[in-house]
Amino acid sequence: MAGSVYGGIAGSIGVGDALEGASVGVIRGLTISAIVGALELFFTRTRWGRVVERAPFLVTFGVKFVVYGAVVIAAEALHLGNRLVGATVPEGAFEGPMAPMSIAFSFAATFAFLFLLQISRLVGGRTLAAIIRGRYHHPHAEDRFFLFVDIAGSTAIAERFGPAATHRYLSRVFRIAADPITDHRGEIYQYVGDEVVVTWTRRAGATDARPIACFFAIDAALAEAAPTFVRDFATPPRVRASLHAGPVIAGEVGDEKREIVFHGDVMNTAARLEQLTRDIDRRFVVSEDALAWTTGVERYALEDVGPQALRGRRSAIRVFAVEAKPR
């Protein structure tokens, strides 16, 4: 879209043909966006991509800006848009009256995109988008799933290796869990000690029992990485979790540091259910309310553990222990 608008304006100024300029701008914009998008989607999940992502903010930003800047320069030098629409192709790589301005615009657009992307990874894409749109400027009710995932074993590591090793251990676990959460369209709400809270809107989470599938995907990813944890920390990570769903009040809080928060009994109940996993010796429990909202639960083995009295609640809540069915 940006390429189309800029190309139309540049075309009317440079060659007097706004439509031709807009067409060239669209192709240039698509070329740059496709390459940058592919790098963000796929390269960042490779070994070297993770090294770049885990570097300090300015290093990550600088490396990406250089690489994406090279993509911008190449897109301008090849004149792909001119060739595809049959426009006049300048003889030199950077000849033409609008070449400097086109490069400058492409760099500015790439800088803006990259800056917003990196900031979103610091505060969370959902939080940044919601703040920009003003979605939660005034509190309102939402129906949501909440998955509380607790990382077992961190206390033993803290006692044996100290707080620095515990931080490295949890950081690695959360990093491994991030991809399954993204793949199942979950939103990381917050990290609390050795626990991560993931949320879905009712619409996003209901399809194919995504919150349930997310837990087992996290469990599988950590099981695959278990040998490296044993090597570095002498113990593999184990996870327990609870899933609950219901209405919450969502709103924006804070001034200098803004954050989207959820309030309601659903949050407290989900936390109590996670504690229940220890009491009944089950690693994953799901409330009847959450199951009622989901489809695709037939892929899992459900064990009805009956109504459970939770601390802080007057009425008991019916709970199911969930396991993946053997293939």
Q: Which two tokens stand for residue 40?
A: 């963000």
pLDDT number for residue 81: 67
pLDDT number for residue 176: 92
pTM of this prediction?
0.73
**Cα–Cα dist 190/180, whole Å:** 16
pLDDT number for residue 122: 66
Which amino acid type is present at position 140? H
**Cα–Cα dist 242/164, whole Å:** 28
Taking alpha carbons only, the member of 144, 143, 146 closest to residue 270 is 146
**Which parts of 79-162 fold into alpha helices (H)?**
80-85, 99-123, 125-133, 154-161
**Does residue 242 surpass a pLDDT of 70?**
yes
Mean pLDDT of 282-298: 93
pLDDT in tens, 178-217: 889 989 999 899 898 889 999 999 999 999 999 999 999 9
Taking each helix axis as running N to C, give the angle between helix 99-123 and helix 125-133, from 0 to 180 degrees, rounded to the nearest 10.
110
Backbone angles phi, psi at 120, to 5 degrees: -65, -30
Please answer whether residues 67 and 39 qualify as being in contact, where contact means their C-beta atoms are separated by less than 8 angstroms.
yes
Which domains can be identified in the chain, with CATH numbers? 2-123 (no CATH), 126-324 (3.30.70.1230)
Please answer whether residues 308 and 163 qualify as being in contact, where contact means their C-beta atoms are separated by less than 8 angstroms.
no
- Higher-confidence residue: 156 or 247? 247
Mean pLDDT of 45-69: 82
